[in-house]
Amino acid sequence: MTPQTSGNIHWSVTQGVMDEATFAMKKFMSKWVTGQFGVGVVMEYRKARKDNCCPRCFEEIEDKLHVLQCPHFSAHEEWDRLVEVLQEWMLKIDTHPSLRVGISQVLWNYYDGQTDRETYISTLISGEVRRCFQSQARLGWTQFLQGFLVTDWANTQQAYYKSKGSRRTGRRWAVNLSKQLWRIIFGMWNHRNQEMFNSGLVNTLSGEELLKQAIQRELAAGLQGLLPIYSSYFRTTTRSLFSKPVEYMKQWLVIIRRGRVQSGHMYDDEIARNQTVQKWIGLSK
């Protein structure tokens, strides 16, 4: 965002959205815009996760733009659903027909487009309305989704309302449009989280495979170097342990590894060299 483009932002609309949005939504969008939320690259940077790949399509790097543009079929379905909700709202609120068509085309291209996602303008849009899209395209469609709308949106819709003798205002329409766009971002983030946590992928990305490998090695070593009081922990099998919840497996490994360390054993495996996995398992603070 440059000084030239930021000067064209309808700051009154931005302020209106911030004044009216719920605290939870304002907190979410503030973190989203600044990039300080639990997307893959951030979690890896914070050493809170072993891998930063996308939990839906397993793309190697998951940043906030990938959350909105993930090519996984379920993400595609969710994006289409959210855009359809926006279309219904635009129709209900009597949005300028060309704005309805153009915004829908922009959002579909933002998800599916290959090269011009930030600057795309539908060829179906012309005249005064096209200048509105050109003004926003100079700022970018990511900024549009995040609530930074240029003044042309409210002006164009205001002129349309006036031509129909409506008492509605373009500014109110723009504030509500921004709220709808925020819901698209939140909807995609919520969908991503459901895919990740409901399927247990969060454990996979955090180091579950290393955890299981370590458990296998400990069971194979048996009581070697441990006091007899630990014998009860070895009256089990790999299959039995792996059928338990991940939290149970982590607690089991913490008890055994700490017992061996206290007896003088030194570990030099991938877990010992990876502070992120140690923290996830509970071996370090």
Q: What is the pLDDT of residues 11-37, one digit of tens each?
A: 999 999 999 999 999 999 999 999 888
Q: What pLDDT is attached to residue 1?
A: 53
Tens of pLDDT, residue by residue over 182-219, are 999 999 999 999 888 877 778 888 888 999 999 999 99
Residue 284: its pLDDT value, please? 83
Q: Which residues of 194-217 are buried (b: 16+ CB within 10 A; e: fewer)?
A: ebbeeeebbbbbbbbebbbebbee
Instruction: Tell me the sheet residues that pair with 217.
Output: none
pLDDT digits (tens, 9 = 90+) for 174-183: 999 999 999 9
- In whole angstroms, give the CA distance from residue 188 to residue 38: 14
Question: Does 5 score more than 60 pLDDT?
Answer: no
Decide: pTM greater than 0.75: yes
CA distance 85 to 188: 13
Q: What is the pLDDT of residues 210-260, one digit of tens each?
A: 999 999 999 999 999 899 999 999 999 999 999 999 999 999 999 999 999
Amino acid 3: pLDDT? 43
Residue-range domain boundaries for the chain: 3-201, 207-281
Q: If we measure between CA atoms, which residue out of 255, 218, 224 comes closest to residue 237? A: 218
CA distance 238 to 234: 10
Instruction: Yes or no: say if 227 and 259 are a contact pair by the CB < 8 Å rule.
Output: yes
Q: Please tell me the distance from the alpha carbon of residue 232 to that of residue 61, in angstroms, as a whole number.
A: 42
275's tokens: 């502070």
| Residue 6: predicted pLDDT | 55
